[in-house]
Amino acid sequence: MDSISCCEYISFSEESTMKIGELMAEHSFPGLVFLLEGDLGTGKTTLVRGFCRADGYISVRSPSFTLVNRYSCGEKTVVHSDLYRLSSVDPTELDVESYLDDRSVLFVEWADRGVPGDFSEIWRIRFRYEDEEEDEGRRVLSFSAQGARAEKALESFLGKLKERKKK
């Protein structure tokens, strides 16, 4: 399937990454899957925290040991999975599709290890340090989308993100 591949955005702090997550929440829809890739400490869970904070939910924790967490975030349900500990396990065994309903969005951290299902509406977000010295919390987030609805939502999100950047 075709995908839209877009811009990179530099996050200068943890709070900046949280605000990106908050803006993502405004542009999400049930069934959207966020595939998060990047090294340890690059901000994947922080982004999810921001997403949930947009709807007043503040108790987000990394699901590294539980593998899947579910949060009721206002009108949405956030299913948050982490494949970090599954390097030798087939990620499809998580059966995250069974957690999804008509209010849910899915976040998959460490998605470069495998995608736990066959999804049609996806945002892929790659996180990396701006430089090798990991200075001052600066991260580069690269966005792409797959699926007609996901592509349209990403375009809208990126437009708003650019507007915020100009302010």
Q: What's the pLDDT band for 166 if we cut at 50, 70, 90?
A: low
**How do residues 3-34 score in pLDDT, each as one tens digit?**
455 688 889 899 999 999 999 999 999 999 99
**How do residues 38-69 score in pLDDT, each as one tens digit?**
988 899 999 999 999 998 887 787 756 667 88
State both tokens at 58: 């503040």
Domain covering 9-166, topology: Rossmann fold (3.40.50)
Structural domain boundaries in the chain: 9-166
What Å distances lie between residue 74 and 33, 54, 118, CA to CA? 18, 9, 26
Using the predicted structure, report yes or no on whether residue 112 has a pLDDT greater than 90.
no
Other C-beta atoms closer than 10 Å to the C-beta of 93 total: 10
Q: Mind giving me the DSSP string for 20-67?
A: HHHHHHHT--TT-EEEEE--TTSSHHHHHHHHHHTTT-------TTTS
pTM score, whole prediction: 0.88
